[in-house]
Amino acid sequence: MLNSKVRLVENMQFVATADSGHAVVMDGPPNVGGNNTGTKPSELLLMAFGGCSGMDVISILRKKKQDVTGFEMNVSGDVAEVQPKSFQKMHIEYVITGRNISEEAVKRAIELSLGKYCLVGTTLGKSAEITHSYRIVQE
Amino acid sequence: MLNSKVRLVENMQFVATADSGHAVVMDGPPNVGGNNTGTKPSELLLMAFGGCSGMDVISILRKKKQDVTGFEMNVSGDVAEVQPKSFQKMHIEYVITGRNISEEAVKRAIELSLGKYCLVGTTLGKSAEITHSYRIVQE
pLDDT digits (tens, 9 = 90+) for B26-60: 999 999 999 999 999 999 999 999 999 999 999 99
Same domain for A49 and A28: no
Q: What is the pLDDT of residue B81?
A: 80
Q: What is the pLDDT of residue B80?
A: 84
Report chain B (139 residues): mean pLDDT per 10 consecutive residues: 96 96 96 96 97 98 98 96 89 98 98 95 95 97
Rounded to a whole number, what is the distance in Å from the CA of B99 to chain A's nearest CA? 17
Q: What is the pLDDT of residue A51?
A: 98
As for how many domains chain B has, the answer is 2
Residue B139 three-state SS = coil
Same domain for A95 and A68: yes
Report chain A (139 residues): mean pLDDT per 10 consecutive residues: 96 96 96 96 97 98 98 96 89 98 98 95 95 97
Q: Considering chain B, what percentage of its residues have pLDDT values greater than 70?
A: 100
Q: What is the ipTM of this complex?
A: 0.96
Domain containing residue A32: 1-39
Same domain for A45 and A6: no
Distance CA(B42)–CA(A6), nearest Å, equals 15
Same domain for A46 and A35: no
**What's phi and psi for A28, nearest 5 deg?**
-120, 170
Q: What is the pLDDT of residue B84?
A: 85
CATH number for A94: 3.30.300.20
Are residues B45 and A41, on separate chains, in Cβ contact within 8 Å? Answer: no
Enclosing H/E stretch for B130: strand B129-138
Q: What is the pLDDT of residue A80?
A: 84
Residues B25 and B39: beta-carbon distance below 8 Å: yes
Same domain for A113 and A66: yes
Same domain for A59 and A17: no
Same domain for B100 and B47: yes
Same domain for B32 and B51: no
Same domain for A50 and A32: no
Same domain for B96 and B123: yes
Distance CA(B85)–CA(B127), nearest Å, equals 12
Q: What is the pLDDT of residue B83?
A: 81
Distance CA(A33)–CA(B59), nearest Å, equals 8
- What angle (nearest 5°) sits at the alpha carbon of residue B138, between those of residues B136 and B139? 140
Candidates B119, B124, B137: best to mutate against A (most CBs of A within 10 A) is: B119
Same domain for A78 and A24: no
B51, B59, B119: residue with CB nearest A86: B119
Residues B39 and B50: beta-carbon distance below 8 Å: no
